[in-house]
Amino acid sequence: MKTKYCKENDQIATGHFHRSFSGEEKDLSGRLSECLDGEPVAAFARRAGIGESTLRNILKGASPRADHLAAIAFAAGVTLDWLATGQGIKSAVELRRLTRDRCAATPDVAPLNFQLLQSIISGVEEGLQMLNKDLEPDKKAQLVALLYEHFQKSGNETDSGTVLKYLKLVA
């Protein structure tokens, strides 16, 4: 992964995360001042839809309400994570681009079939009662996942015989 210097925000971009160039993170008021980028406080507050006095208080170090923080991040075009913590991706546009790229690179995944999943869970629970057995949650989850994959690939409806066969293998 390449490391490059990003002059526009005085940070080093490493992979998908931005780290402070100086090694020292700014506090919220410092990140907020950076977002203002010379814009008058009153104008930015109007654009963010919050009171000017609220914005001035945050700039002085007051803790903002979550909705004010979200409004500020949106108006500034930065991610809420970066504004609140100084961590993660700063630019909201960059985050959307990375998300879009990641989704494009991800193979199509079939949507979850809730009816099938419910049928499998019911079948596993009934089978466990019938066998008078119990499974640890992690083993039960693995069994349900295996059965889901089996029935999803085969296109067959859930049948108790197959569920019992799998159950006897793990219980």
Would you tell me how many other CB atoms lie within 10 Å of the CB of residue 59?
15
Taking the CA of residue 54 as centre, how many other CA atoms within 13 Å lie in the half-sphere pointing to its CB?
16
Handedness of CA 131, 133, 135, 139 (dihedral sign): negative
User: Model confidence over 98-133: pLDDT tens digits?
Assistant: 777 766 666 666 678 889 999 999 999 999 999 999
Tell me if the domain spanning 3-105 has CATH number 1.10.760.10.
no
Phi, psi of 13, rounded to the nearest 5 degrees: -95, 120
Numbered ranges of CATH 1.10.260.40 in the chain: 3-105
Query: DSSP secondary-structure letter at 24?
Result: -
User: Model confidence over 47-100: pLDDT tens digits?
Assistant: 999 999 999 999 999 989 988 998 999 999 998 888 988 888 888 788 777 777
**pTM above threshold 0.85:** no
